[in-house]
Amino acid sequence: MTDHFSTKSRLAAFALAMVIGAFVSAGAAQAQSAVDEGRKLAFDRGKGNCLTCHVIKGGDLPGTIGPELVDIKSKYPKREDLVAILHDETLRNPLTVMPPFGRNRILTEKEINAVVDFLQTL
């Protein structure tokens, strides 16, 4: 009787572990898909078009009008700083040539967030 019960509870624990595992990997997959989406938007010439001005790891035919985007997470540890740069860099530098992606609705807030997820992996 006790054996039977412990088999059952072992099974229950195993099932619970499977469920937790599925949730954890779904979360990781979601984060990864935001990074992929952000990279796509950044490299898309009709969207972020960041490569026109920035060297970015993995991107083809980059321009050098802006600084290379590298080690971004240590330079800007706070994600809201990156969101602000993408939303409207003219607030930091009125003379910048970087387009105000948020203010001019070139990218939606959701798209800006995905690009920031990608930038934080650089």
| Contacts of residue 111, Cβ cutoff 8 Å, sequence gap at least 6 | 37, 41, 47, 48
Part of the chain binding ligand HEC (CB under 6 A), chosen from 2-10, 16-24, 29-37, 82-90? 82-90
- Please work out, in degrees rounded to the nearest 5, the angle formed at the alpha carbon of residue 42 by the alpha carbons of 58 and 51: 65
User: Whole-angstrom Cα distance, residue 83 to residue 117?
Assistant: 10
Could you say whether residue 52 binds ligand HEC (CB under 6 A)?
yes
Part of the chain binding ligand HEC (CB under 6 A), chosen from 5-13, 14-22, 24-32, 50-58? 50-58
Could you say whether residue 50 binds ligand HEC (CB under 6 A)?
yes
Output the smallest distance, CB 26 to ligand HEC, in A: 27
User: Whole-angstrom Cα distance, residue 50 to residue 24?
Assistant: 32
CA proximity to 54, closest of 98, 4, 13: 98
Per-residue tokens: 86: 């993408």
Among the listed residues 13, 57, 97, 103, the single contact to ligand HEC using CB under 6 A: 97
Per-residue tokens: 4: 């039977």
Among the listed residues 17, 29, 33, 67, the single contact to ligand HEC using CB under 6 A: 67
Could you say whether residue 89 binds ligand HEC (CB under 6 A)?
yes
- Residues that bind ligand HEC in the complex, under the rule CB under 6 A: 42, 48-50, 52-54, 65-67, 69, 72, 75, 82, 85-86, 89, 92-93, 96-99, 101, 115, 119
